[in-house]
Amino acid sequence: MPTERTLSIIKPDATRRNLTGKVNAVLEAAGLRIVAQKRLHLTTAQAEAFYAVHAARPFYRDLVTFMTSGPVVAQVLEGDNAVQRNRDVMGATNPAQAAEGTIRKLFAENIEANSVHGSDSAENAAAEIAFFFAGTDIVG
Ligand code: IDP
Ligand code: MG
């Protein structure tokens, strides 16, 4: 499997409950290395742009409101097959359907406040990493 990078976001429901370290421990135990990380409070414009692909979905406005409701932690994860590996350790979008041991099963509050974002393809990972980080911010 190739070494890859993917974009992860620890969402406001998790930062509010002071779970950044616990989420990071699950990521690291899954073989992912945090090679860049920053805490920030997204503006409405940033959240709208980041989730533009979902603009037509009924939950879009609520999602933007949620993602701007508190700080997030954006991070670049590196590892073998990192995009899929992170999706696996995140678990299903709806925590009620997430597998045991996944971040969403362990920590998510509901289908919206589901603790983490992860890129869903290598192509989207590159675009999402560039949304938050300059190349010089990433130290592998
Ligand atoms: P993903 O985060 O598992 O890739 P997506 O379908 O890309 O799931 O949705 C992006 C985010 O939008 C989800 O993580 C969740 O926060 C929110 N979301 C997705 N589906 C729903 C829904 O049916 N109701 C409310 N929020 C949703
Ligand atoms: Mg998605």
- Catalytic residue numbers, as ranges: 117
| Interval 21-49: pLDDT, tens | 999 999 999 999 999 999 999 999 999 99
> Is the model's pLDDT at 1 over the cut of 80?
no
Q: Can you give the pLDDT at residue 2? A: 81
CA atoms of 125 and 76, how far apart (whole Å): 9
- Looking from the CA of residue 90, the nearest atom of ligand 1 is 3
Q: Of 23, 109, 110, 119, which is closest to residue 72 (Cα–Cα)?
A: 23
pLDDT value of position 92: 98
| Tens digits of residue pLDDT in 68-120 | 999 999 999 999 999 999 999 999 999 999 999 999 999 999 999 999 999 99
Ligand 1: list residues with CB < 6 Å: 54, 59, 63, 93, 111-112, 114, 117, 120
Residue 86's contacts (CB-CB under 8 Å, 6 or more residues apart) are 6, 8, 27, 30, 32, 77, 118, 119
Q: What is the pLDDT of residue 139?
A: 97
